[in-house]
Chain A
Amino acid sequence: MKRPSLALRCLVLLYVAALLGVPLVFVFQQAFSHGWAALWAALHDHAMDEAILLTAKVVVLAVPLNVFFGIGASLWIVRHPSRISHVLDVLIDIPLAISPIVVGLILELAYAQNGWFGSTFSKLGWKVMFSLPGIVVASIFVSLPLVSRQVIPLLREIGDHQEQTAATLGAKPTRIFFTITLRSIAWACAYGVTLTLARVIGEYGAVLIVSGNIAMLTQTLTLNIGANFENFNGYQGFVGALLLALVSVLVLVVIGVARHRLERKRHDSFA
């Protein structure tokens, strides 16, 4: 194949630089603009630290739940297809199709104190909206398809002959799941987990609505960054953005490795 012309290559690089490179460099430059001491102090900003802690809590709760659901739904859809599982297959994609703001509003309608289930929950003393559970539910909702969309095609491709062979060798279903199925989809899961992680950490719209955005209480890191910019505290905002950017770079590296491994797996598939 002919190499693309020099002009075209320059155009592509410029495009990527303008969209990704320059803003990223700008974030770093702003965050370091007041020197190390100021950066150190900003990193110890009380509201931001609380926000980081909350985001970490959300990640710890939402990511495993999403992986659990994603693998379960994928197995159901691929291995036991039925009318209900077909409906599920379609429903899983809804979060990709609707705006996070709408997700937030739907959840508020459902879980607010005068909402559909919210009234029942508040009688039981459970507070979903404007607290951690609401943020977790919103995070799971927006990242719902990210694991299963990686796992489903791989499950289809590998088929069920390996699992059935393991059964004839005497293995029980749980053993087959852990030694054959999970091993086969491990890298697809890892890829899905990093996508989920990035999405949960970076989510803004849905979380903004369900959390109420109360500093020190229900403010995640992204909300904290937004609030700092709105309150003319731009420097603090850039420090938060720097942290998010570093997480993104880390996620990109992990995704790169996972995807590489996944593609190698696919190339290893047999004629």
Chain B
Amino acid sequence: MTVSLDGVSKSFGHLLVLDDITDVFAEGEMTALLGPSGSGKSTLLRIIAGLTPLDSGRVLLSGRDVTKAPARDRHIGFCFQDYAPFRHLSVFGNIAYGLKVQRIPRAQRKAQVDELLGLVRLEEFADRYPHQLSGGQRQRMALARALAIKPDVLLLDEPFGALDAQVRGELRSWVRSLQRELGITTILVTHDQSEAMEIADRLVILNDGKIEQAGKPSFVYDHPATDFVAGFLGPITTLWGIDYRPHELELALDGDEGEKGTVTEVVRLGFEVRVVLTNQTSESTWVQLTHDQAKALNPVVGQKFVVRPRAQNLVHNDATSREARPID
């Protein structure tokens, strides 16, 4: 099912949180709403779910206008960052909740819950209560509970925010493969750009209640429409007053087409090596090298190099490449 937003605006008091958002989330696609805190991404998610009323604009599900429909009639699965487990119900009871609402007979309900328990690998935990689960298990339970009603759309608010790094990595790829398997239109909110790049088919970058840019993660990363997007998605450095990704620059021992500079700092971060160079007019640039590149060049402080771009420079302040999709 596609989710279309048509000029959605929302204010809290005098604060404009969402300013005329128009976009289409395609069938079966995994979209990451990415932005700093306060950019309006969670509010947008709540508006799609029907948990927060909007001030103006429309929300359409495959063309059906649901702007005024309450959350219970939208058939949209929603997972909160804190997972909001029903504390007084067991894992089984949590997952069965939506099926009970739909008055599915007991035997059929049990079969469906058992299947979901298998899907989220919580078979052993059916009788446990939420407080007896780890963070990752609670998250999978919340996901199974949302999926139980076979929703048309799945919304995840900062789904991995409250987990430690290792569990987060595992769950991320697991959620990704599950989403592919089920083919469910999914929108997730995150402020972590690496998470968004890894998991999403499409990024929508929000800032100050506006869509800054949208598109495929790799495209947006390589062709950021604005300085904000460029800086938010990854490191940038400047050479001749132009922005580059530090890995898009290279070092050479000599050559004509490049800026001559002296190494002032070398930082080794495992696989990555950062080399900071300063030219004659004290402008500094930093270059990101792989471990192998660094080994070949072996840069040391005080050494002279030529810095030059490996590829075309990066930032296009070109409104047409922002790619928010218009509504048909």
Tell me if A171 and B84 are in contact (CB < 8 A): no
Judged by a CB distance under 8 angstroms, whether B128 is at the interface is no
Tell me if B84 and A268 are in contact (CB < 8 A): no
Judged by a CB distance under 8 angstroms, whether B295 is at the interface is no
Nearest chain B CB to A264 CB, angstrom units: 9
Contact partner of B101 (CB less than 8 A), chosen from A158, A159, A175, is A175
Nearest chain A CB to B91 CB, angstrom units: 14
Tell me if A170 and B98 are in contact (CB < 8 A): yes
Instruction: Name the A residues within 8 Å of B82 (CB-CB).
Output: 159, 161, 270
| B124-157 residues at the A interface, CB under 8 angstroms | 129-131, 138, 142, 145-146, 148-149
How far is A149 from B153 in the complex, measured between Cα atoms in Å?
40
Instruction: Name the A residues within 8 Å of B78 (CB-CB).
Output: 164-165, 168
Instruction: Name the A residues within 8 Å of B146 (CB-CB).
Output: 165, 168-169
Nearest chain A CB to B55 CB, angstrom units: 19
Interface residues on chain B, size class: 20 to 34
- Looking at the complex, which of B36-44, B66-74, B269-277 is the stretch in contact with chain A? B66-74
How far is A57 from B82 in the complex, measured between Cα atoms in Å?
46
Nearest chain A CB to B30 CB, angstrom units: 19
Contact partner of B72 (CB less than 8 A), chosen from A158, A159, A170, is A170
| B185-219 residues at the A interface, CB under 8 angstroms | none
Judged by a CB distance under 8 angstroms, whether A30 is at the interface is no
Instruction: Name the A residues within 8 Å of B228 (CB-CB).
Output: none
Nearest chain B CB to A243 CB, angstrom units: 36
Closest to A165 in B: B84
Tell me if A172 and B80 are in contact (CB < 8 A): no
Judged by a CB distance under 8 angstroms, whether A184 is at the interface is yes
Closest to B88 in A: A183
Contact partner of A171 (CB less than 8 A), chosen from B76, B87, B101, B129, is B101
How far is A162 from B87 in the complex, measured between Cα atoms in Å?
9
Residues of B within 8 A of A (CB): 49-51, 70-78, 80, 82-88, 97-98, 101-102, 129-131, 138, 142, 145-146, 148-149, 162
Residues of A within 8 A of B (CB): 158-159, 161-162, 164-172, 175, 179-180, 183-184, 265, 268-271
- Besides the known contacts A169-B146, A270-B83, 17 further A-B residue pairs in the complex with CB atoms under 8 A apart: A158-B87, A159-B84, A161-B84, A162-B85, A162-B87, A164-B51, A164-B80, A165-B86, A168-B76, A168-B78, A170-B98, A170-B101, A180-B86, A184-B88, A265-B87, A270-B85, A271-B162
